[in-house]
Amino acid sequence: MESLFIPTLIVALAEIGDKTQLLALLLAARFRRPWPIIWGILVATLANHFAAGAIGNWVAGLLSAATLSWILAGSFVAVALWSLIPDKLDDDESSRLKRYGPFLTTLIAFFIAEMGDKTQVATVMLAAQYPHFLLVVIGTTLGMLIANVPVVLAGNFAADRLPLTLIRRVAACAFLALALYAGYQALKLSAAL
């Protein structure tokens, strides 16, 4: 269950204030139809995180456990630092897609916005770290939904009142904790060799 719960928590925290959350807010304000937007987020995230998780799972099979742990530790530190930087949404990114309706617009915009995003990178790393690939994908997708569905449903009200700086710091601390754990595992595995 660790393969499900930790990715859910990590991605939910990392997603708050992220560009895809800003995109969810923008789409909710433009379309005023929450359910097609929520379904678009779900489908786009599953597709994107399944691909990211598959890459992480594949990489984990190529490297020794010690090497993978060192790479994960460094990657988690990098994502922790990245989490502290506020995202900005390119307004033009979603305005071009509006003509396709709320579901298809959300599906396309979210899939594209997630490419190379910190939550996608986190999914790669988490899938490399945890043995249950599908649980990691489900967990990261749940994390995205936990962070984005309330924004879609509440619109501007929720986003304006969230302490984004504090949330980014908590997410960074969570990634640092994962980095410390991966570093500890790397030291333990290196000492065993």
**Does any domain span residue 65?**
yes
At residue 88, the pLDDT reads: 59
Q: Residue 54: what pLDDT?
A: 92
- Say if 138 falls within a structural domain: yes
**Residue 193: inside a domain:** no
pLDDT in tens, 72-123: 788 778 877 876 776 555 555 445 555 678 899 889 888 888 887 888 888 9
| Rounded-to-integer distance, Cα 19 and Cα 51, Å | 20
pLDDT score for 97: 52
Alpha-carbon span 151 to 139, nearest angstrom: 19
pLDDT given at position 65: 78
Indicate the helix (H) or strand (E) that contains 142: helix 133-154
Residue closest to 48 by CA, chosen among 4, 112, 131 = 112
pLDDT value for 89: 52
Considering the domain boundaries, does residue 28 fall inside one?
Answer: yes
Residue 95: its pLDDT value, please?
Answer: 54
What pLDDT does residue 122 have? 87
Q: What is the pLDDT of residue 75?
A: 78
In which residue ranges of the chain is pLDDT below 70? Answer: 83, 86-99, 156-164, 167
Task: Give residue 181's domain range.
Answer: 2-188
pLDDT at 22: 77
Domains identified in the chain, total number:
1
